[in-house]
Structures are given as C-alpha cells and as structure tokens.
Chain A
Amino acid sequence: MWAFIHKLGSPKWFYGISAKLQPWFWAAAGLLIITGSLWGLAFAPADYQQGNSFRIIYVHVPAAFLAQSIFIAMAVSGLVFMVWKIKVADMAAAVMAPLGAAMTFVALFSGAVWGVPTWGTWWMWDARLTSMLILLFLYLGVIALRGAFTSRDSASRAASVLAMVGVINIPIIKYSVDWWYTLHQPASFTLTSRPAMPTEMWLPLVIMVLGFYSFFIALTLMRTRSEILRREANKHWVQELVTGQAVKAPAEEAR
C-alpha cells in the first residue's frame, strides 16, 4: 500500500502510467458524450411542461455536477499534498482549478439560458444559481491566490489551505443560500421537484454525466502531464525524454 502511494508520488512514474490510461478516458469521454448528446437532443421525448427547452439539462446538470466534484477533488489533492508532500497531487490541483471554474461558468451560463424560456428572464436569484455563482468566486480566489505568490512552494501550500477552507464552507454556504431563498421567495417553480423523469429522459442524462466525468479525468491527466514536464524540466529523465538521448550527469560532464 505504502509502496504504491510512494510510486504514485513520483512524477516520472505518474507520467508513464497516465500515458497508458489517458487514451482510454478520452475514448470513453468521446463515446459517452456523443451517444448522450445524440440521444438526449434528438431522441429523448420532449418535456410535457417545458417542451424542447428542457434539453439544456443534458449540458447544465453534468457541468454543475462536475463543478462541485472538481472543487472536492481539488481540496482532496491539496490535503494529500499538505500531508504527504506528494508533488503530483499539487500539480493535479493546479490544473483542476481553471477546469472547475470553466465548468462552473458553463453551468451558470446554461442555467441563465435555460432561465429565458422557463422564467422569462436571464437571471433570477435562484438558490442554485446563487450558490453556483459563489462557487465560481471561490474558484477564482484559489486561482488568484496561486498566481499571487512568487515562490511555487508557498503558492501550492496556500492554494491547498484555501481549497480546504473552501470545501468546508461549501455545504454551509449551500444550505444558508437555500434557506435564504425559501425565506425570500417561496419557490413557485423548481427545476428539481417535478414529476419523476421517465427512463428515456434520464438515461441519456446519466450517460452525459459519465461522459463529462471521463472528459474531466482525461483532461486532468493530460494537463498534469504537461505540468510535470514544465516543473521537472531540469530533471534528467525529462531532458532525456525531450531530446531523445541520454543526458550525462553534470559530474560526468565535468570530468
């Protein structure tokens, strides 16, 4: 077990294993997203209340799922980095943050677009949209904090602490926003508490969610690999990999 964790901590080993895993996740992501969107957009029945506009759910819900999961994944990576000093965990956390912010933005944007046919307006201070907006600010804070430090090690540790503080606060923020919303505007129409979806509607949704997750894993692996190359650029194995020839240790060159 420990040997495995230590192996996982080695950027070189991670670089190798992720090269093998990456194509599988890309293939799964492509297959699932294409199947899910074709099925969801073209073949699933229209909603009896919202008509065809409900189909935005096939982008909105997976993006919202991912937006929340990525923050948790980022905080867990931060914790792993702080506790075991595993550099790869921090590299993964660093590449996850912009991806999570992008997914949050996609969820917000698709929510706003969805608002036009359902609420007749681009923006409502709906509980879900509001907590998504706050999540976006949390992501931007983590990204900005990482960028503000000149020392990479401090930046990594500061971003890890902030991600952990954020993840403790997310449920508190979510529940207080929900409470605030129910107090101020009794929910007249919610997107969730409607009659149970028929199978042919939620099955493509499940496929889309799985596809988005595979896409996230594939993209994180790919970007972590380039982050490894960037940060380990002065290591021998990276130079050997890039130049394609054996690099002599400085001591040998001097001789």
Chain B
Amino acid sequence: MLAVKATLVRDLTLLLRRRGEVLNPLVFFALVITLFPIAISPDPELLAVIAPGLLWVAALLAALLSLDSLFRSDYDDGSLEQLLLAPQPLAALSLAKVAVHWLLTGLPLALMAPLLGIMLALPAGSYAVLALSLALGTASLSLIGAIGAALTVGLARGGVLLSLLVLPLYIPVLIFGAGAVQAAIFGEGVLAHLAILGALLAASLMLAPWAIAASLRISING
C-alpha cells in the first residue's frame, strides 16, 4: 500500500512539474471542437444535434493522445524496470500510474467539456450528465488504453499502432457515454447509461491492471 502511495505521489509530482504535458490534451480537445463548426456549419441548431457525439469523440481522442506518454518517460529513464523489480505487485503499481493519468487528463477533460458544450450550443440540462459521463468514461478509457500503451512502450514508433489497438476497444464506452448525454437532452432517464458506464469501469478496474502488468513485462523483457 505504501508503495502504491509512493508511486501515486511520485507520478503526480512529476506530471505537475511538466505542466505542458497536462495542458496539451486539453488544448487539443478545445482545438478539435473548434474545427467542427468551421468544417460543418456555425448553425446552433445543427451543432446542438451533433454536440454530444462531437464532445465525446474529441475527448476520447484527447485521452488517446495522452496515452503514449503514460509509460514512455519511465521506460526511457529505466524507472519502469525498477517498478518491475519491486516486491510489490506490478498490477497495483500500474493501477496507481493509471489513476494519476486519469486525474490529470480524464478529470480535467470532463470538467472542461461543459464549457465547450456551451460553445456548441449543447441544450441545457445535459451539462452535468456530460461531465459525469466523461469522468466515469475516461477512467475506463485510461485503464483500457494503458494496456495498449504498455504493449507499445518498447516500440520506437508506437503512436499510430497504439490508436489502432485501443480505439476498437473504446467503442462500448463511447456508445454509452454519448448515449447518456443524448438521453439527457431528450429528457430520458440517464441512470441506465451511467450505471453501464460504471459497470464497464468496474470490469476494467478488475481486469485491466493484470493485462497492463503482463504487457509491461513483455515490453521490458523484449
């Protein structure tokens, strides 16, 4: 437990000292959202229809982009090997790393999304659901994505490969995340969507750490 806490604190400190890395996904999120009205139409009525999907896809891509750096610097400076050699279970330590990744990308993305929702004329009453569904969903995204990041960390150019591996696995989260926002707009019950997002998170919390640990072992030894 102490080692998990130490990993948490270390990763948080490291990331907070490199603020650029934390800010970049957020700027990317805002930029992508800016592109859509320019490419499609500035008409608020049209934008309101597609806003839930746009916000979710853009947030998903922003979370995906930040994944590559999840293990990269630790792999380069060798501290990942130290984590592997540590007597504590690697699954728990990697869960701590993923938790930090979510705290500094998923959660800010979720908090920022309502702001961009205003710009896309997202109908009122769905803002809280948007933030909540993103907060729940990005946690699963970080966990699933970390498997891909761990598998590709040893490869020189793993970036595009990482998205190829991870994006198909993101689809259920996207369906229920965007579905929750849409249900909120139409005034339907959102609890079912949020419950399924929570279930997906519970399942990935349970299974993903083992896959991440196994993948890290493959990447280090290979």
Contact = CB atoms under 8 A, between A and B. Distances in A.
B215 A172 contact: no
A166 B158 CA distance: 19
Given A161-B214, A172-B200, A154 B219 contact: yes
A123 B203 CA distance: 33
B168 A173 contact: yes
- B interface SS class: helix
B31 interface: no
A168 interface: yes
Contact of B222 (A138, A140, A151): A151
Contact of A172 (B164, B172, B211, B221): B172
A141 B171 contact: no
A141 B168 contact: yes
Contacts of A82: 214
Contacts of B147: 161, 165
Interface string B99-116: 000000000000000000
B207 A168 contact: yes
B46 interface: no
Contacts of B158: 148
B16 interface: no
Contacts of B207: 168
A153 B222 contact: yes
Interface in A91-148: 134, 137-138, 140-141, 144-145, 148
A145 B219 CA distance: 12
A169 B154 CA distance: 24
A160 to B, nearest CB: 9
B169 interface: yes
Contact of A177 (B154, B171, B221, B222): B171
Contacts, number: 76
Contacts of A138: 168
Nearest to A140: B164
A158 B169 contact: no
Contacts of B179: 180, 183
Count chain A CB atoms within 10 A of each CB in B168, B211, B214 and give the residue with the most: B168
A223 interface: no
B171 to A, nearest CB: 6
B118 interface: no
A138 B179 CA distance: 23
A149 interface: yes
A149 B161 CA distance: 11
A173 B175 CA distance: 9
B155 A165 contact: no
A12 interface: no
Contacts of B86: none
A84 interface: no
A162 B165 CA distance: 8
Contacts of A151: 222
Nearest to B163: A141
A247 B220 CA distance: 37
Contacts of B120: none
A176 interface: yes
B152 interface: yes
Interface string B167-184: 111011001100100000
A154 B154 CA distance: 10
Contacts of A144: 161, 164-165
B9 interface: no
B171 A176 contact: yes
Count chain B CB atoms within 10 A of each CB in A151, A155, A169 and give the residue with the most: A169
8 contacts: A134-B168, A145-B152, A154-B154, A161-B218, A169-B168, A169-B169, A169-B172, A177-B171
Given A140-B164, A144-B164, A162-B151, 15 more contacts: A134-B171, A141-B161, A145-B152, A145-B161, A148-B158, A153-B222, A154-B154, A157-B222, A158-B215, A161-B211, A165-B211, A166-B168, A169-B168, A172-B203, A173-B172
Interface of B: 147, 151-152, 154-155, 158, 161, 164-165, 167-169, 171-172, 175-176, 179, 200, 203, 207, 211, 214-215, 218-219, 221-222
